[in-house]
A and B are shown apart, each in its own frame.
Chain A
Amino acid sequence: MKKIIDALPLVVFASLIIVLFSFLSDEDDQLETALIDSSFPDFNLGSLSDESRLLTKQDIIKLPALINVWATWCIACRVEHPFLMKLKEESRLTIYGLNYKDNKLKALDLLERDGNPFEFSIYDFEGRLAIDLGVYGAPETFFIDKNGLIRERHVGVIDERVWEEKFSKYLNE
């Protein structure tokens, strides 16, 4: 009995270290998503390619879909660009862009040069729809299921691994 009690502080200390270390490896840039399983927020914003065209939630009709938050100032967005192009070619998924706090000309230029994976891009210069989506940085990607509900969200570059781990399962529903 005495031996167990003597060892107790060491055991407690060791388990504390293990618990704290496990927190260290957590990806701390992923905040919880408050919007999971809620419907896509309403918005009223112009299109990136055509200023006179006003877009609303009703324009996102080809479901299921990805909504990708991107900008030309965001380097990681360029990293994931080829993957989005590939996704557009190879799957039946529609990708909508949310151009976030960006320079319109630079954005159009980039799509011209590197290809346009988006059905259309919503031009959100003031970051209003982004706030309603809980966006805090680009790139971010949301999955909208066939009923128009947000099912998954990823902050950071989306690639083959992230796609398989987080998103592909919703496509097969």
Chain B
Amino acid sequence: MKECGKKNFLNILMNKLILFLLFIICSLQVSVEEGQVNFDNEAYPFKSEIKESLFYSLLNELRCPKCQSSNLAGSNSPISNDLKREVYELVAEGKSSKQIKEHLVDRYGNFIIYNPPIEPATYALWFGPFILILLSVLVIILVRKRII
């Protein structure tokens, strides 16, 4: 009886451990997919650390126009490498993050940034979820009050 309880305990422990490991593996995969790629610094040398960190944060925020589901940092396609060079040169010139994004949006459209501006074409995108929440709250209230 005692033996049996011990076995059970071990079983549960093993299960928990496996779950824990699976969890770790899954979260590792997510971080890889986010494309936080570190480059060797010699390809893009900078004189100041501020510029360097601006450069790498921009690569993570800008989208590769060819591969579409990846950012510039996570892509090695020829167009991404050209855009990295473009961003590198603009950062080296001392342009701000906002100026560089505008420079690229002027050429590639809003597609190139992951953060779309609030304008009539994107109202549904920005406000749709809130409208849905309001609607569902309304439905829940109506159901609870047994009006429906």
Q: Using CB atoms and an 8 Å cutoff, list the residues of chain A in contact with chain B.
A: 5, 28, 31-35, 101, 126-128, 130-137
Contact = CB atoms under 8 A, between A and B. Distances in A.
Contacts of B66: 136-137
A66 to B, nearest CB: 20
A130 B111 CA distance: 17
A134 B148 CA distance: 53
B83 interface: yes
A132 B110 contact: no
A131 B111 contact: no
A32 B79 contact: no
A127 B107 contact: no
B79 A31 contact: no
Given A136-B65, A136-B66, A32 B82 contact: no
A39 to B, nearest CB: 13
A31 B111 contact: yes
B117 interface: no
A17 B104 CA distance: 35
Contact of A34 (B78, B79, B106): B106
B117 to A, nearest CB: 13
A130 B83 CA distance: 10
Contacts of B108: 31, 34, 134, 136
Given A5-B148, A31-B65, A133 B107 contact: yes
Contacts, number: 41
B111 to A, nearest CB: 5
B109 interface: yes
Contacts of B111: 31-32
Given A5-B148, A136-B65, A136-B66, A35 B82 contact: no
23 contacts: A28-B68, A31-B65, A31-B108, A31-B109, A31-B111, A34-B105, A34-B106, A34-B109, A35-B107, A101-B78, A126-B82, A127-B78, A127-B79, A127-B82, A128-B82, A131-B86, A131-B107, A133-B107, A134-B109, A136-B66, A136-B79, A136-B108, A137-B66
Nearest to A5: B148
A35 B66 CA distance: 18
Contact of A131 (B82, B105, B109, B148): B82
Indicate the member of B66, B79, B110, B148 with the most A CB atoms within 10 Å: B79
